[in-house]
């Protein structure tokens, strides 16, 4: 089976440690992705991300390397197009800049929400950047600027 992949990169003015915390601390995840976040960020444990109180993205944490790497896999409780997709957050420094690579892979070719999910990842990466740099992100349901 052929798969597609979402790939984005962003530079964030923060240390790798601050960025890693924003990706692994459940309370901090709720400040930039969705306010309805719960679970445990530990390998083998699950995280739940709720949208509109009824749409769930459930992730099992598959890899944690402090200040470097976070990987999740979407469970069968997620949107059908997300099931078994994998999300990888790779943190690295080049000079005085901290980079974050987001790779959301293993999308089926016929996944209908693929384009929308790619666009939403851009919005949430900007929210993550804002949260880490200023202390205030734009998590769902506050992710869309007024007037759009």
Evaluate whether residue 27 is within a structural domain: yes
CA nearest to 104, candidates 119, 124, 89, 115: 89
Residue 14 φ/ψ, nearest 5 degrees? -165, 165
* 8 A C-beta contact, residue 6 and residue 104: yes
Evaluate whether residue 120 is within a structural domain: yes
Evaluate whether residue 51 is within a structural domain: yes
pTM for the predicted model, two decimal places: 0.93
What is the residue-wise DSSP string for 79-135?
Answer: -TTTTT-EEEEEEEEETTEEEEEEEEEEEETT-TTHHHHHHHHHHHHHHHHHHHHHS
CA nearest to 128, candidates 113, 116, 111, 140: 140
What is the C-alpha separation between 27 and 42, in angstroms, rounded?
14
Check which CATH number belongs to the domain holding 103 and give it.
3.30.530.20
Write the pLDDT tens digit of every residue in 23-48: 999 999 999 999 999 999 999 999 99
Write the pLDDT tens digit of every residue in 72-97: 999 999 999 999 999 999 999 999 99
Evaluate whether residue 142 is within a structural domain: no
């Amino acid at each position: 089976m052929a798969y597609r992949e979402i790939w984005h990169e962003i530079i964030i003015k923060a240390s790798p440690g601050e960025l890693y915390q924003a990706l692994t601390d459940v309370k901090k995840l709720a400040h930039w992705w969705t306010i309805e976040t719960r679970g445990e960020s530990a390998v083998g444990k699950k995280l739940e991300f709720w949208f509109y109180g009824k749409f769930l993205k459930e992730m099992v944490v598959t890899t944690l390397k402090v200040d470097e790497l976070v990987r999740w896999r979407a469970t069968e409780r997620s949107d059908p197009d997300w099931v078994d997709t994998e999300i990888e957050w790779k943190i690295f420094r080049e000079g005085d800049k901290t980079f974050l690579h987001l790779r959301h892979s293993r999308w089926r070719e016929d996944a209908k929400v693929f384009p929308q999910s790619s666009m939403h990842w851009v919005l949430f990466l900007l929210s993550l950047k804002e949260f880490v740099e200023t202390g205030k992100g734009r998590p769902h349901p506050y992710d869309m600027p007024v007037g759009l």
